[in-house]
Amino acid sequence: MRSQSWRHVAVAAFALAVAGTNAQTGSLTDLGTLLSGQKNLTTFYGLIQKYPQILLQLPSTQGVTILAPNNDAFNKIPYTELNKAFSDNDQDVITNVLEYHLLEGSRTAAELNPGDSVFIPTLLTNEAYSNVSGGQRVQNVKQSGDVVVFVSGLGNRCTLTQADLKFTGGVVQVIDSLLIPPSNLTGTLIPFNLTSFEGALYQSKKLENFSTAANSTIFIPNNNAFQNLGPAIANMTVEALGSVLDYHLLPGQVAYSTDLTNGTKFSTQQGGNVTILHSGNNVYVNSAAIIQADLLCANGVIHVIDNVLNPQGPGAQPNPAIAQQGAVFASASSYSTLPFTTAIPCTSSCPVTSSSVTSGSGSVTGGAGTKTTSGAGSKSSSVKTSSSKAMAAAMARETGFHAAGLMVALGGAVMMI
């Protein structure tokens, strides 16, 4: 249904964009006039008026693209990671969220090549969400059926609903959900169940090092990958484990999927190189398949892989004919439980009862694993959702378009664009 309405809108919008090109000098409207004329953008317009300082940061040269969430998008906030910030009216976080919706350069939907992701720099530079040079990125891709999608932190996707509303300073693109600023490393590992890796970082005392490494790419093996190694990794010394983990970090190189071209070698924090190989539709790093690419995180990008990489075997090559590559560590044998998860300290959301791993371990059979860990997987995500109607109402009060006086008072800042 959404893609149908997009197709509808797109045809009209593209027609408009073409018609608008010879009107670029003079007759384009300013942002304030544009936003005030859009009845689906009243909440966003109200927010922009409440935080006019956002617009003062806009680069004047190549223009800007404003991803404007429609009114429906704001109604979804209670179900997202942004709920707390908006219900607490946390001005700092809301400012950062708005900055993340401002993209460098004036970008029209028609510029996208179908299927090719682009990673667009935004005005979000707060280190807590963006320890990368040039501003945190948002992924933009045109999928089949001309559905244009933006992907933000924690894999959140939103869809373009109205394209290419031009104004004097650039272009507004209307989206159906808010973008979520990327979380730091632990905030990203937990919701994606990458808990063995998280535990291994604690075990090897490298969590701080990995979390604060600016401009990084991290290849993160999923829990199965650690489980499949069992004692081959669980029994390593802290130093050996640290070296293995270091082989998964590319410091000072943010390599999005588009940078992982066939045959490229990347140098790791461990010192050795990893090599990218493309085969069919799969992309491998050494012999590990990338099973989820481009999870944006505060200090760069994460690619989830299905095998732990071994710095002692940098020449490991996949067998593309098989789905799950063999482990590349000697004496690997499956554990029934997740290595290292007991190393994760119990913090704010400690499990009351240790319910242990229920799913995930069931299918793993055999192996020398008699090691038992409890509590694995029961550490709950810090991502909170709430369906409370009261919360929604409070949020609507905060963000609602309610102050005509404010609009007039702050109109000047908006009109500057």
Ligand X SMILES: *[C@@H]1O[C@H](CO)[C@@H](O)[C@H](O)[C@H]1NC(C)=O
Q: Which residues bind ligand X (CB under 6 A)?
A: 5, 9, 40, 70, 72, 127-128, 131-133, 161-162, 174, 184, 186-187, 192-193, 209, 211-215, 231, 235, 246, 252, 262-263, 265, 267, 269, 272-273, 277-279, 359-360, 371
| Type of residue at 124 | L
CB of 348 to ligand X, least distance (A): 8
Give the span between the Cα atoms of 171 and 144, in whole angstroms. 23
**Pick 152 or 413: Cβ nearer ligand X:** 152
Contact 60, 98 (CB under 8 A): no
Q: Tell me the closest approach of the beta carbon of residue 402 to ligand X, in angstroms.
A: 19
* 3-class SS string, 285-332: ECCEEEEEEEEEECCEEEEEECCCCCCCCCCCCCCCCCCCCCCCCCCC
Identify the DSSP state of 236.
-
Q: What's phi and psi for 233, nearest 5 deg?
A: -115, -35
CB nearer to ligand X: pick between 251 and 410: 251
Judged by beta carbon, residue 111 or residue 127, the one nearer ligand X is: 127
85 vs 407 by CB, closer to ligand X: 85
Bridge partners of 297, per DSSP, are: 300
User: Backbone phi, then psi, for 10, in 5-degree steps?
Assistant: -60, -45
Taking the mean position of all CA atoms in its chain, how far away is CA 244?
25
CA–CA gap between residue 99 and residue 275 (Å, rounded): 35
CB of 26 vs ligand X, minimal distance in Å: 26
Shortest Å distance, C-beta 409 to ligand X: 27
CA dist., res. 371 & res. 249, Å (int): 28
Q: Which is nearer to ligand X, 26 or 263 (CB)?
A: 263
77 three-class SS: helix
Residue with smaller CB distance to ligand X, 211 or 227: 211
d(CA 44, CA 275) in angstroms, rounded, equals 45
Nearer to ligand X, 117 or 413 (CB): 117
**In the complex, minimum distance from the CB of residue 71 to ligand X, in angstroms, rounded to a whole number:** 7
Least CB distance from residue 8 to ligand X, whole Å? 9
Q: How far is the CB of 231 from ligand X (least distance, A)?
A: 4
CB 262, CB 278: distance < 8 Å: yes
